[in-house]
Every structure is written in C-alpha cells, then in structure tokens.
Structure 1
Amino acid sequence: MRNALIRYRVMAYVVGVLLIVLTCVGMPLKYVWGNDSVVTATGIAHGWLYMLLIITAIDLGRRARWSWLRLLLIALAGTVPFVTFVAEHYATKDVKAKLAEDAAHPAEPEIVSVDPQH
C-alpha cells in the first residue's frame, strides 16, 4: 500500500500543478491575449495524466478499501484547481493511519493443518 500511495501522491501533485498552470496561466493567455499554446500543451498533458491519476487512485483505493464515493470525490478533485492537493492530503492521512494500524497490529499467520488422511 505504501508504494501505491507514493504513485498516487506523485500523480496528484503533477495533475494539480498542470491544472493550476492551465487555468491561471493558459486560460488568461488564450482569452485575453489570443495565445493558446499553453492551453494546448498543458491541456493535453493534464488530460492524459489525469487518466493516470484515476488509475493510481483506484489502485490505492482498492488497497485501502475506500468506498466508491470516496474514489469518485478524489477523481472529481482532479478537475478543480487546488482541490487536488486537499484530496491528496486527506487520502495520505487516511492511508498513513491505516499503515500505522497495520504495523501496530500485524496479522497473525494462518495455521494450515495438514491431514494425512485427506
């Protein structure tokens, strides 16, 4: 789960930064000065990397046993500037708490009985 968290966090930061650049730099350049080069470059990159964010969020959510509602909210957070960082913060907090709980209470090994008659 630790590696899935790292993958998710990297994608959340990358997608979040691209979305901020797209909305705070690219959109004004396009609609005020008529230059759409930043929108084109960051928009395409954001779109593709957003899909990778969804995949990493689903992977992490499956491992952390999140509800579908939580996964949907995390996915939607990637479409609103700055909210990606908030979602990443709470996701990281939840996963780190689960990792600490798992470390404090390790699962007992399963004892398999071998019955020679069967």
Structure 2
Amino acid sequence: MLSLLNSFRIVALLEGVSYLLLLFLATPIKHFGNDPTYVKLLGMPHGILFLAYIVMAIMVSQEKKWNTRTLLIVLAASIIPFGTFYIEKKYLNPRKK
C-alpha cells in the first residue's frame, strides 16, 4: 500500500501534467481553433486532481510537520505552471532528508 507521501507525489505529478496540458494544449486549441473539446475533456480531471492536491498537501504538511510558510509554498505551486515539479524536487523527494 502506498504511503501518504507517495500518494501525494503521484497526485502532484498528475496535477502538474494535467495543468500543463490544459494551459498549453487545450486552451490554445480552444481559442485559436474554436474547438472547446479538449478543455471540456481535461477540465474536470484537472479540477479533481487540483482539489486532491490541496487536501493531500494539508495532510502531508501535518504528517511532516511543515511550517506555515512551507505549506503556503506547496499550495501556491499548484497554480504556477511547472510548480508541482519544483515541489517534488524540493520537498517530496524521498532521497532528500
């Protein structure tokens, strides 16, 4: 069974990928190609992953005893393109302390 941290790492990766697909693939196709299909297909899964990321970040912060600043950085990363990948390297990498 996956630990909370490993589950969060997976959700963070999926959330980051879905955000990039939504921003750099689906949105341009919608606006330049007048085809909202991809936004509709990617929007709901991304929204669910975003909410899961937020909830799991709070749970992991309690488990790892992060201070408020660290939690806010992890939460803010979810709205910055490539942010969750930074969080993976900086805060979630199991090889780091």
Fold conserved between structures, TM > 0.5: yes
Q: 1:7 offset after TM fit, Å?
A: 1.0
Give ranges in structure 2 of 5+ residues lacking alignment.
none
Distance in 1 of aligned mates of 2:48 and 2:69: 23
Moved more, 58-67 or 88-97: 88-97
Specify the alignment match of 1:54 in structure 2: 54
Q: Which runs of 4+ in 1 moved over 4 A?
A: none
Give ranges in structure 1 of 5+ residues lacking alignment.
98-118
Query: RMSD over aligned Cα, in angstroms?
Result: 1.8
Q: 1:58 offset after TM fit, Å?
A: 1.0
One-letter amino acid matched to 1:19: Y
1:45 aligns with 2:45: yes
Q: 1:93 offset after TM fit, Å?
A: 3.8
Q: 1:79 offset after TM fit, Å?
A: 1.3
One-letter amino acid matched to 2:33: W
Specify the alignment match of 2:85 in structure 1: 85
The percent identity for this pair of structures is 27
Q: 1:28 offset after TM fit, Å?
A: 0.7
TM-score (norm. length: structure 2): 0.89
Residues matched between the structures, number: 96
Moved more, 64-73 or 4-13: 64-73
Give the direction of change, closer, same or farther, for the CA distance of 1:46–1:78 in structure 2 (3 Å limit): same
* Larger radius of gyration between Structure 1 and Structure 2: 1
One-letter amino acid matched to 2:69: L
Matches within 5 A, 1:1-118: 3-93=3-93, 96-97=96-97
Structure in which a larger fraction of residues adopt helix: 2
Q: Deviations over 1:73-96 (max 9, x none)?
A: 111211121111001211124884
TM-score (norm. length: structure 1): 0.74
